[in-house]
């Protein structure tokens, strides 16, 4: 069993850290919130006494809000890359910009450390159940070293390629998800206005060429898919503001490589307007309400 330093015990990080505790690892947590640290301690983990304590661990996992937090924790003179001992494995599971992920990975490689970017999909439910999908970027050797730890927290572990490709996979997937959710929402709204019932349109489209995950697993209208957030007034799930964050990362990444992402840009504008109007906490499938003229 390994000593693991876990940084960022939020909605995702805490249940992920708890799964590492349950698997028998010695987990030391670091967070700005006392409450989260107390929950980890009660469950058999430990509270780190700052980053110097975390630096003594064999494996370090981070689950932080954005690239600036990851850069601050790992990079620079005061960062973990300078503090840890040789052989420490670094796993960043936050969803961040590709450029920061690559810069930190370069710094780690320069110090002779194994590091992977390993963002996740599966949400809080997946984090609790230990069924997350990890999209992993980094050298093969670092991936193989990280895999047994990721398997404790996830059900599907995919090596996407070199450093940064885990983040690239994550933001490309989520840009596609936003576009497909908007497409499904437009189709349901139009079908309704043309006199089709939601269920009838679902029965037809879900077995026709319009079928996709946004329709069959996460349907944005109440009724056809009982587990979808539409049936609980669009309580998240995956909030509009989280989708907005990922769409902004996708747009920045697209600009950096001159990729054409017109529908990604339009999706970003639609989700940004929803957020500005106070609906940032609504599940991202709540975009149906905006398209249908309900909000």
Tell me the Cα Rg of the chain.
20
Span near ligand NAD by CB under 6 A; candidates 29-37, 39-47, 78-86, 218-226: 29-37
Span near ligand NAD by CB under 6 A; candidates 10-18, 196-204, 251-259, 278-286: 10-18
- Quick check: is 200 catalytic? no
Q: Is 123 in the site for ligand NAD (CB under 6 A)?
A: yes
List the one residue from 5, 6, 12, 179 that touches ligand NAD (CB under 6 A): 12
Find the shortest distance in angstroms from Cβ 37 to ligand NAD: 9
Span near ligand NAD by CB under 6 A; candidates 39-47, 58-66, 159-167, 178-186: 58-66
d(CA 28, CA 128): 18
d(CA 115, CA 277): 40
What tokens appear for 55 in the block? 């630096």
d(CA 292, CA 295): 8
d(CA 125, CA 273): 27
| Of 68, 170, 193, 260, catalytic | 170
For 175, 267, 268, 272, the CA distances from 243, given in Å and listed in that order, are 8, 10, 9, 9
Q: Is 9 in the site for ligand NAD (CB under 6 A)?
A: yes
List the one residue from 4, 40, 63, 150 that touches ligand NAD (CB under 6 A): 63
Q: Which is nearer to ligand NAD, 12 or 101 (CB)?
A: 12
Find the shortest distance in angstroms from Cβ 214 to ligand NAD: 16
Q: Is 275 in the site for ligand NAD (CB under 6 A)?
A: no
Q: Is 30 in the site for ligand NAD (CB under 6 A)?
A: yes
First to last CA, the chain: 51
Contact 4, 29 (CB under 8 A): no
Cis previous bond, 237, omega within 30 = yes
Give the residue numbers annotated as catalytic, written as ranges: 170
Residue ranges in contact with ligand NAD by CB under 6 A:
7-13, 30-33, 36, 63-65, 69, 94-95, 120, 123-124, 238, 242, 245
């Amino acid at each position: 069993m390994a000593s693991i330093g876990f940084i960022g015990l939020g909605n995702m990080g805490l249940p992920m850290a708890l799964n590492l505790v349950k698997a028998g690892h010695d987990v030391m947590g670091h967070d700005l919130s006392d409450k989260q640290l107390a929950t980890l301690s009660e469950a058999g983990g430990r509270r780190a006494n700052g980053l110097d304590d975390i630096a003594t661990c064999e494996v370090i996992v981070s689950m932080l809000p954005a690239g600036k937090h990851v850069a601050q924790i790992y990079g620079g003179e005061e960062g973990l890359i300078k503090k840890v001992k040789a052989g420490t494995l670094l796993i960043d599971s936050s969803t961040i910009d590709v450029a920061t992920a690559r810069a930190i990975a370069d710094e780690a490689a320069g110090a002779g450390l194994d590091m992977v970017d390993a963002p996740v999909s599966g949400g809080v439910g997946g984090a609790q159940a230990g069924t997350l999908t990890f999209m992993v970027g980094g050298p093969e050797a670092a991936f193989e070293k990280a895999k047994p730890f990721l398997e404790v927290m996830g059900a599907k572990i995919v090596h996407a390629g070199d450093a940064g490709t885990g983040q690239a996979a994550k933001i490309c997937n989520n840009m596609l998800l936003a576009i497909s959710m908007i497409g499904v929402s437009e189709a349901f709204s139009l079908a309704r206005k043309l006199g089709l019932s939601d269920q009838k349109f679902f029965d037809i489209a879900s077995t026709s060429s319009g079928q996709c995950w946004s329709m069959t697993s996460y349907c944005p209208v109440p009724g056809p898919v009982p587990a979808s957030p539409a049936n609980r007034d669009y309580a998240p799930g995956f909030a509009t503001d989280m989708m907005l964050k990922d769409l902004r990362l996708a747009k920045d990444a697209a600009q950096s490589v001159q990729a054409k992402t017109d529908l990604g840009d339009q999706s970003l504008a639609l989700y940004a307007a929803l957020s500005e109007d106070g609906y940032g906490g609504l599940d991202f499938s709540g975009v149906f309400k905006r398209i249908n003229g309900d909000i």
